[in-house]
């Protein structure tokens, strides 16, 4: 994506917004708080989202229109890409009622996405990875100088490269005599650094000739659902390739608890370990091929995952993770040869595992805390990784408190009538016309809708609530004049997409039980954060910054999340989308050994709280089972907007 | 053996000697320099060694005599065990000629045998082995205290036992959750210490309950010929069992060079590694059973061997050991899991390998230097391990110089017409009547002779030389009046045992080429020592102490070795028989981690000299090809005796 920005001026709303070059026009409208009817998800088949281009250049949007419409400047917003500054008019049939213009709309904000800045690492002289290659031209042994081969190698690494405290294991030792002679005593030694500076530097590989230009690392996030990997060039710092795949364990359970239960069955642990290793190897195969390197050129693989994923990866029985008092086997893991657990890399490749804090605040969160820079931040930060098992960290460079809560599967589409994963056809963006209650819908991949993903669910509920379609208990205002609100089998629901515009030949709806599930999920998270703050003597108003980690966190619309009371109300500019923080942390540890060293200190700093052991948690939880919360003072801006709309 | 001593007074020689209770009378006579004819090796069949018991008590010795002889007090000396102070008369037929009495005989001396003094180690508070067990009663986790299992273990090892810098590897980590709970959080942790004090303490085993009373180690010497092992109780310090076996590699070559040549053949290295591991496991099976322990109760196995044995054990190609400039792969070896190379002990058992100095001064010699205490001695010491490949160390606590020389196989009976290993039927003791030239012979196991072992060869040649049967070039005085000296197929020889008294139905002889082989072997060793002394600016007269290591060194008769010029002439009281120094060093390292730490420093202190690179070695060697040496001033006492006998 380039950095070019364009301004769009929407008429008759007279609302302006700046978007990136190539942005979809319907998303731009959503961002601006301008409603356009749209129900086909962006496929361009419902034809409802017609807008008139008054000025500027749009790419696409006219393919499905008559020549007559084209001449009038019509475009289908859902198929239009913004290519210049624009003036766009929403026609009456798309906008229904101008009265909406006078309502205080909530413009949508995309949070800053945390970017990995390689240059900054380089400038700080921190591109000193845990594993380095050293080229040496050794004097061949003579009668007067017949040191042992290993001694010669170590002595000259000391003399020529100031390397100290070197050790060699048996596997490498076995190969050294032949390798030295094969390379005519010109060799490259690969050295892995210790975590503690006073530890040993281990020679893990000796190669004939100068191979210093070929030093690669893999960073990998072992998620419960997905496994992402990247190949990193440790000389240039470049990411050479990346790939993600579903964790092969998925067929044995969707979440960590069901995985643990399966692992306790006879042979279950072995199966789950084998499955995740298969996935790891599959991802490795892809990224190594794509990067154009050999697998034995990978010096380290740094892996981050939650505590259950980590234990399953290592073949450590996770049974006590799910049993009170929730004890993980370990929080620190020693470096080991990746091939020892079946990872298909060089015999010498060292696996480095992110340490965790507790059973439910694992290495993925620590990696996120590291990758986001939270551990170096002055600002009091709320770090959240939203999911079925959601983790919360509060703190700054001086201290950190963390906890985890079980939000249930609603954020991942679970327990929702038309819930689905965030894949093609999932409704991910939604707005509602406050007068007609007609929806504007965009799906992932701009195809006809199949269902609702987690981020879509949040946006839908936020929009329904803010437009007074549901009350603060998540119940529909049954009296509203729209056929989209209906009772079916005794359950009230809102029709998001009529079946003709779906891929599933059924009306796609959101029901009161669906909304209730979401309220309970967001309530668990919000009350977790409140409880944690209370434990450390702070309040929600002290939060200076929010970091949203995880795949889900990258999709969630901030305004919506604040509207439903999932996130505390904060200037969206103070929210950072971290993306895959686990992968980011793994990547940064791969580049910078100092970073890897810091992790140990950070883990010690992170004080774990068990919500189940914190009596106030249940009170906070019950108070959070409202939209946005019983305590509206936590959400002053929303209150203001709601007051303006006279929702109360 | 008990400590009771008896005095024997030999008549008519009027010579007294003190011997241990139970000593064989013929050996006592040899020790006293009293000649008794004896040719059957001690089997009691030749009947020549009849002596008259005048006073005291003898066990045995009368079985094969007539009742008439018994009444006269006759005993066969070779079958007699000394049980009290004695007066023994050698009858004329055994002694032949009293004129011998006036010759200055060379009484035989048994050197002090270096004893392992466990009490001394204990008194010094040094019984702190590299691996210790710690029992812990952990508080089980609770909701308020749900530390990771490994963290709990490590924290409490710190609190209760002041253990620091603890690490756990993956294999142990995998087991910890179940083991803690199996033991109701009462567990024993086995911890291996680092070599450097600032290194990591590794938890290698966690067991339910208190197993601190069961902590065992194995010390093992991996010799080219034999493998010896001992089971040590690390609590009491006791040696529970020991056993030795031939190294299974023997069928692939007698010495290290032929082993290396075999290892270079296709698959040869694997075969040799497998064979020595089989031997190790066989010895382990025996000693573990004998000690009444389980193999998984062995915490460490400390192994010492020469550089070739060490590399073969580890599966490291030793090809460059035998090629100039003689470069070993390594001299230091990291600790590793014994099972990694197929050693049949616990999965957690750590193998510790003695470091070496060079290709031909290996871990066995370093272990000997450690075990003998040479590295702590004030005295300038000559340390020799005599064998086909012989090693020499000169030095004291401040410095050490070492070298190796190839003496050829004569010391092990190789290249000698009737040479054999030191096994049953080998002539190991010999003296000759200076008038009649009749021999007195004792064999290993007191059976009829089969051949001559290395120590026997030295005694025979020394005796022949000192009694002027051969000259200082090792040539027979052909004019002597005895049928035992004869020429056969053009080669002069002396008949040691007539065929009727052998097991092989042939006369057992020693020939001039046999003697020449021995002279070259002893010449190589002596000149090696001289060269090494010269390199460090010292002379043979500066030597204050001799330590003889190795199986051979324990059998050699000191006077004989000095007479032929194998050892420098020194008061026998200043000679220490070390026995199996390699095993002793391995044992002491098993008991005392400080000892293991010192080894690294000692190895650095030991400066290696390559004789082939030392021009003066060849000159010294040529000068040493005489009995005892061209420079008789090196052997003043021998010169005095020879002068008295007018040999020159």
Helix, strand or coil for residue B272? helix
- Average pLDDT across chain A, whole number: 90
Report yes or no on A300 lying in a domain: yes
Alpha-carbon torsion angle B33, B38, B42, B45, nearest 10 = -160
pLDDT at B313: 98
Q: What is the largest CA-CA distance in chain B?
A: 101
Q: What is the pLDDT of residues A97-152, one digit of tens each?
A: 434 433 434 445 455 566 677 888 888 888 999 999 999 999 999 998 999 999 99
A450's enclosing H/E stretch is none
Report yes or no on B119 lying in a domain: no
pLDDT at A115: 65
For position B152, which CATH number holds? 3.10.20.880
- Which residues of chain A lie closer than 8 angstroms to B180, CB-CB? none
pLDDT at residue B103 is higher than 50 = no
pLDDT at A114: 65
- Which residues of chain B lie closer than 8 angstroms to A200, CB-CB? 199
B428 and B499 part of one domain: yes
A221 and A306 part of one domain: yes
For position B293, which CATH number holds? 3.30.420.480
Report yes or no on A158 lying in a domain: yes
Q: Test B149 with A328 for CB contact under 8 angstroms.
A: yes
pLDDT at B254: 84
Q: Can you give the pTM of this predicted structure?
A: 0.85
Of A209-223, A288-302, A605-619, give the lowest mean pLDDT range.
A605-619
B570 and B637 part of one domain: yes
pLDDT at A101: 39
Report yes or no on A535 lying in a domain: yes
Q: How far is B601 from B590, CA to CA, in rounded Å?
A: 17
Residue length of chain B: 648
For position B555, which CATH number holds? 3.30.420.40
Tell me which of B54 and A355 has the higher pLDDT. Answer: A355
pLDDT at residue B20 is higher than 50 = yes
| Percent of chain A predicted with pLDDT > 90 | 68
**Tokens 């505590």, residue located:** A307
Cα angle, residue A228 at apex, residues A217 and A429 outer, rounded to 5°: 140
Report yes or no on A123 lying in a domain: no
CA-based nearest residue to B567, from B385, B371, B414: B385
Q: Test A334 with B358 for CB contact under 8 angstroms.
A: no
How many residue pairs from chains A and B have C-beta atoms closer than 8 A? Answer: 135
Res. B101 pLDDT band, cuts 50 70 90? very low
pLDDT at A100: 40
Domain hosting residue A612, numbered range = 367-407+523-645
Structure tokens at B586: 């391995």
For position A50, which CATH number holds? 3.10.20.30
Radius of gyration of chain B (CA): 28
Residue A326, min C-alpha distance to chain B (Å): 7
Q: How far is A484 from A493, CA to CA, in rounded Å?
A: 8
- Among candidate residues A360, A394, A419, the one where a domain is terminated: A360
Cβ contact A172:A203 at 8 Å: yes
Report yes or no on B583 lying in a domain: yes
- Among candidate residues B146, B173, B208, the one where a domain is terminated: B208
**Across the interface, which of A148, A325, A330 has its CB nearest the CB of B150?**
A330
Residue B343, min C-alpha distance to chain A (Å): 15
- Which residues of chain B lie closer than 8 angstroms to A168, CB-CB? 330, 334
pLDDT at B107: 45
A403 and A415 part of one domain: no
Q: Where are the alpha helices (DSSP H) in A326-387?
A: 363-371
Cβ contact A387:A410 at 8 Å: no
B177 and B252 part of one domain: no
Q: Test A141 with B168 for CB contact under 8 angstroms.
A: no
Q: What is the pLDDT of residues B234-273, one digit of tens each?
A: 999 999 999 999 999 989 988 899 999 999 999 999 999 9
- Which residues of chain A lie closer than 8 angstroms to B613, CB-CB? 143-144
Q: How far is A460 from A439, CA to CA, in rounded Å?
A: 9
- Among candidate residues A518, A540, A562, the one where a domain is terminated: A518
pLDDT at B102: 38
| CA nearest to A351 within chain B | B170
CA-based nearest residue to B248, from B287, B284, B280: B280
Q: Test B333 with A142 for CB contact under 8 angstroms.
A: no
Q: Test B325 with A141 for CB contact under 8 angstroms.
A: yes
pLDDT at A92: 63
- Which residues of chain B lie closer than 8 angstroms to A144, CB-CB? 613
- What is the count of structural domains for chain A? 5
A491 and A602 part of one domain: no
Helix, strand or coil for residue B40? strand
CA-CA-CA-CA torsion sign (A610, A616, A622, A625)? negative
A390 and A437 part of one domain: no
A503 and A529 part of one domain: no
B248 and B351 part of one domain: yes
Q: Test A148 with B331 for CB contact under 8 angstroms.
A: yes
Helix, strand or coil for residue B437? coil
- Which residues of chain A lie closer than 8 angstroms to B148, CB-CB? 327-331, 358
Report yes or no on A591 lying in a domain: yes
- Which residues of chain A lie closer than 8 angstroms to B143, CB-CB? 324-325, 610, 612-613
CA-based nearest residue to B409, from B432, B387, B436: B387
Q: How far is A432 from A36, CA to CA, in rounded Å?
A: 9
**Mean per-residue pLDDT for B349-359?**
97
Residue A352, min C-alpha distance to chain B (Å): 12
Burial of B189 (0-12, 13-18, 19+ CB in 10 A): buried
Q: Test B324 with A612 for CB contact under 8 angstroms.
A: no
* Buried/exposed code over B85-112 (b: 16+ C-beta within 10 A; e: otherwise): ebebbbeeebbeeeebbebebbebeebe
DSSP string, B85-150: -EEEE--HHHH--GGGGGS------PPEEP---HHHHHHTT----SEEEEEEEPPPPBTTB---HH
B589 and B526 part of one domain: yes
- Which residues of chain A lie closer than 8 angstroms to B325, CB-CB? 141-143, 145-146
Residue A490, min C-alpha distance to chain B (Å): 43
pLDDT at A591: 95
Residue B347, min C-alpha distance to chain A (Å): 15
Cβ contact B413:B420 at 8 Å: yes
pLDDT at A26: 86
Mutate to test the interface with B, among A164, A306, A320, A402 (most CBs of B within 10 A): A320
pLDDT at residue A648 is higher than 60 = no
B16 and B89 part of one domain: yes
Q: How far is A592 from A121, CA to CA, in rounded Å?
A: 8
Q: Helices A256-263 and A268-291 meet at what angle, rounded to 10?
A: 120
B97 and B150 part of one domain: no
Of A219-223, B412-416, B634-638, give the lowest mean pLDDT range.
B412-416
pLDDT at B115: 64
Q: How far is B277 from B283, CA to CA, in rounded Å?
A: 10
Q: Test A329 with B173 for CB contact under 8 angstroms.
A: yes
Q: How far is B25 from B612, CA to CA, in rounded Å?
A: 46
Report yes or no on A114 lying in a domain: no
């Amino acid at each position: 994506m380039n950095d070019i920005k364009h301004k769009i001026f929407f008429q008759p709303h007279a609302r302006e917004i700046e978007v990136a070059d190539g942005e979809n026009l319907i998303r731009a409208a959503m961002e601006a708080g301008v409603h356009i009817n749209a129900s086909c998800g962006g496929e361009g088949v419902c034809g409802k989202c017609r807008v008139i281009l008054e000025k500027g250049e749009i790419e696409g949007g006219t393919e499905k229109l008559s020549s007559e419409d084209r001449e009038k400047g019509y475009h289908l917003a859902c198929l239009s890409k913004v290519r210049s500054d624009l003036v766009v008019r929403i026609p009456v049939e798309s906008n229904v009622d101008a009265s909406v213009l006078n309502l205080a709309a909530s413009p949508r904000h995309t949070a800053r996405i945390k970017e990995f800045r390689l240059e900054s690492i380089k400038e700080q002289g921190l591109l000193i990875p845990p594993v380095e290659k050293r080229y040496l031209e050794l004097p061949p042994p003579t009668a007067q100088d017949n040191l042992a081969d290993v001694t010669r190698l170590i002595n000259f690494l000391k003399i020529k490269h100031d390397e100290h405290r070197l050790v060699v294991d048996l596997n490498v030792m076995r190969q050294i005599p032949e390798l030295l002679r094969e390379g005519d005593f010109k060799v490259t030694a690969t050295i892995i650094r210790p975590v503690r500076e006073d530890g040993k530097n281990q020679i893990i590989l000796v190669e004939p000739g100068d191979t210093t230009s070929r030093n690669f690392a893999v960073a990998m996030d072992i998620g419960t659902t997905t496994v992402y990997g990247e190949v990193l060039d440790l000389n240039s710092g470049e990411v050479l390739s990346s790939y993600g795949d579903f964790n092969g364990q998925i067929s044995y359970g969707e979440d960590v608890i069901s995985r643990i239960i399966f692992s306790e069955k006879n042979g279950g642990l072995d199966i789950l370990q084998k499955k995740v290793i298969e996935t790891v190897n599959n991802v490795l195969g892809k990224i190594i091929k794509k990067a154009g390197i050999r697998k034995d050129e990978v010096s380290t693989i740094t892996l981050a995952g939650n505590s259950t994923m980590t234990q399953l990866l290592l073949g450590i029985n996770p049974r006590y993770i799910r049993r009170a008092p929730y004890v993980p086997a370990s929080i620190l893991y020693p470096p080991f040869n990746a091939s020892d657990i079946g990872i298909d890399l060089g015999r010498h490749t060292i696996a480095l595992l992110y340490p965790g804090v507790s059973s439910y605040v694992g290495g993925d969160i620590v990696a996120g805390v590291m990758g986001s820079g939270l551990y170096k931040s002055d600002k009091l930060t709320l770090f959240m990784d939203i999911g079925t098992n959601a983790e919360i960290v509060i703190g700054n460079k001086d201290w950190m408190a963390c906890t985890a809560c079980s939000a249930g599967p609603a954020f991942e589409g679970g327990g929702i009538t038309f819930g689905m994963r965030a894949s093609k056809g999932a409704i991910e963006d939604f707005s509602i016309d406050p007068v007609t209650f007609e929806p504007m819908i965009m799906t992932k991949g701009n195809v006809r809708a199949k269902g609702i993903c987690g981020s879509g669910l949040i946006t839908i509920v936020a929009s329904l609530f803010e437009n007074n379609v549901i009350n603060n208990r998540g119940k529909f205002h049954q009296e509203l004049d729209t056929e989209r609100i209906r009772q079916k089998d005794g359950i009230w629901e809102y029709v998001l997409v009529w079946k003709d515009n779906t891929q599933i030949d059924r009306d796609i709806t959101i029901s009161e039980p669906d909304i209730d599930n979401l309220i309970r999920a967001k309530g668990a998270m919000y009350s977790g954060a409140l409880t944690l703050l209370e434990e450390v003597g702070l309040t929600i108003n002290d939060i200076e910054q929010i970091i949203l980690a995880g795949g889900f966190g990258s999709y969630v619309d901030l305004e919506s999340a604040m509207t439903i009371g999932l996130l505390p109300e904060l200037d969206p500019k103070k929210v950072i989308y971290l993306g895959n923080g686990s992968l980011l942390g793994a990547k940064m540890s791969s580049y910078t050994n100092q970073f890897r060293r810091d992790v140990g200190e950070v883990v010690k700093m992170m004080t774990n709280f068990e919500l189940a052991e914190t009596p106030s948690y249940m009170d906070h939880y019950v108070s959070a089972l409202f939209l946005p919360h019983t305590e509206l003072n936590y959400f002053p801006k929303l209150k203001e907007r709601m007051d303006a709309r006279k929702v109360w």
